[in-house]
A and B are shown apart, each in its own frame.
Chain A
């Protein structure tokens, strides 16, 4: 098996995550899809680390994990704040600027 298969898998997971961000309405599920995209990018980093024979890719993937954890913490706090004021987590309901 070629190592590039991991890259194909990574591309597929990233694309599926992007579709989820666009078509799902629940803000929490949208967030999960963003996590999926970040994970797919991490898989590509780790695969490239092995293809190139250096550990730099793994270090970058490690940093990505930390940034993703920060993003989840702040994002979920924002979702809770929106839910508290609007009683809904649907991304379509947060449309005050439209009206």
Chain B
């Protein structure tokens, strides 16, 4: 029965159920990539699409590729994407204004035409096609079958691809290396003269430290100036950019409590 169903190009029922559940989910996730504002969400949706594709590979008798898909794509490549997102700022705004007028409408129309063409082409090309199945080719095992192909028939493309991989690694190192970090640091002398010969001597003894005296000394609470206003330069610029600053006035003393001199005469 299974043999027969494979011979007329049909797959078994569990695979059909798997496909009809996962395929709409992967299409929905990839559509979501087009509309989400934040790049991190797009990365998560793409990771989901890649996991569903890995499941499809395993269902398609390509166990090795399924595992490689998870390890390389959802493991390495998506990690690299998230790492770069962290580097360039997670909240880098994605403007949704159109620079070229109507280009989104034209893009979607062209995509509908292209997709329709592709799908109708597949529909006509594979009509009445007999699916052979990989039972014969996977006889010694999927990995063994792939290895015997890669290291005999495809050995030259394999070597070329490894050369490409090394070149890409070198290229990334050259591109990501910044010349600025080598000699741009200010010397001790330059820093010192900037501090004492600058516009004001207000910070000559160093920036004020954070926290409100004797009440709260965390780094996210700006110091209070004698007139009760928070000192902006007492906290790190990173914290103020993120908006992680607490209101220091809640730790300020409204008025000094009366000192009760115990044992003194009243």
- Interface of A toward B, CB cutoff 8 Å: 1-9, 11-20, 22-26, 28-29, 31-33, 35-36, 39, 42-43, 46-47, 49-56, 58-59, 61-63, 65-74, 76-81, 83-84, 88-90, 92
Contact = CB atoms under 8 A, between A and B. Distances in A.
Interface residues on B, range: 35 or more
A41 to B, nearest CB: 11
B233 interface: no
A3 to B, nearest CB: 5
Given A36-B49, A63-B157, A74-B172, A13 B61 contact: no
A42 B145 CA distance: 18
Contacts, number: 233
Contacts of A42: 53, 65, 69
Given A28-B84, A58-B62, A67-B164, A19 B108 contact: yes
Nearest to B138: A55
Interface of B: 9-11, 15-16, 19-20, 23, 26-27, 30-31, 33-34, 39, 42-43, 46, 49-50, 53, 56-57, 60-62, 64-65, 68-69, 72-73, 76-77, 80-81, 84-85, 87-88, 92, 94-96, 99, 103-104, 107-108, 111, 114-115, 118-119, 122-123, 126, 129, 131-134, 136-138, 142, 145-146, 149-150, 154, 157-158, 161, 164-165, 167-169, 171-172, 175-176, 178
